[in-house]
Chain A
Amino acid sequence: MEAALECLLFVSGEPVTLAELARALDRDEIAVEAALRSLQIGLTERGSGLQLLRIAGGWQLATRPEHAEVVGRLLTRGSSKLSRAAMETLAIIAYRQPITAPEIEAVRGVSVGGVLKTLLERRLIQEAGRKATIGRPMLYTTTPDFLHYFGITDLSQLPALEMDAPAPAPVPAELIADGRAPANGAD
């Protein structure tokens, strides 16, 4: 089954959920998940340039970070890094979603119209209806692309907000996934 699994992951241009894999393989999810873990370890052991990641709610093959330079020479990366303004706005949306532009502005103390447009264009956020208040302002939420952009599986991986000095950043366990026990031990 591992080989078939590898095929599915190879042809998929986006993260595939466990359910999708199970349906394609006609196996139950528990067996598929075991095979995924096994494939993950196998890739590491055979020294593959690829790794299997849990990302944005699914599973996806990716290159290993140590080959970034080589790949980068072949492919030009299309998108630039996010600006500080975009990052701050994105952080606020991630924690407070669904949230309106005025609510974001209240936190940041500056207008966010242009930043929201950029984030929408990059599909890191999406419109999610309107708030039932005066003016019916648009509500924004983060997208699966947001999770993918930061290499996390779901929103629960965002660090807890603290009122005082922020804690140092934990690395998302799955980004360093190589089949061994994840760094935070929670699996």
Chain B
Amino acid sequence: MSIYLDKNSKVFVQGITGAEGSYHTGRMLAYGTNVVGGVTPGKGGQKTEHGLPVFNTVEECVAATGATHQCIFVPPAGAADALFEAYEAGIRFSVCITEGVPVHDMLRVVGTTPGMRIIGPNCPGLISPGKSSVGIMPGHIFKEGNVGLISRSGTLTYEVVDGLTRAGLGQSTCVGIGGDPIIGTTFVDCLREFKNDSQTQAIVICGEIGGSDEEDAAAFVKEHLAGMPIVAFIGGRNAPPGKSLGHAGAIISGAFGTPQSKIAAFVAAGVPVADRPSQIPAMLAERMAAVV
């Protein structure tokens, strides 16, 4: 099955005539993604270089194409507007690639669009290998299979996927959730989907220092995914400590997002944490073999 995305998902690209939007639309089409059109205000009625229809508004695009999945390549100042426009047009799934979206824009978006699944912002998107890719991930390193992967980073995700694919471990869906303070979809949201996905038989969680998403993920695994083979990785154990101003954020979360607290949480949930990305495939294979 895979999560969030399959070969029938009808994708439209917001900002399809821009340099990034146009380039990655071509790559998505080449991968087999069902891209049905795009939106660039003022260019409605034109065709893209790929022969796709361009619309002035999301509403027109959805009415004409039946699109269900939005992929955003607009500049940061317009990202929240693009999300609101899609929400009003009935879209309930969006991938926001844009980097540098103001935190307050995302606070407003996530607080006022109930029922909308937003991946990102500042993320590489997601891919269900062999079926569909929405975003900017390099399709050729992926392979269809039964490992679900969730990651906060872009290139580190590719590093891990490359290792899995070379080890013969294909993937069901890989989601790059993005590294911003306020993101639409967390590890736990994805874990909940993987739990109900028949294709997904194992999971890799690629976390990073900072925040408490990893601790939340570990708690969810402990309660709901006890039998599932899972391996985690925490990037940045030797990362530069940020100079913080005040400690209000740390006090709310009750933890400081240190690698130690994240590793301890995963270990307590029975999830081994790899010291390096290259160890992940073997660790995962061992746990998958133990289940069968």
A binds B: no
Interface residues of B (CB under 8 A from A): none
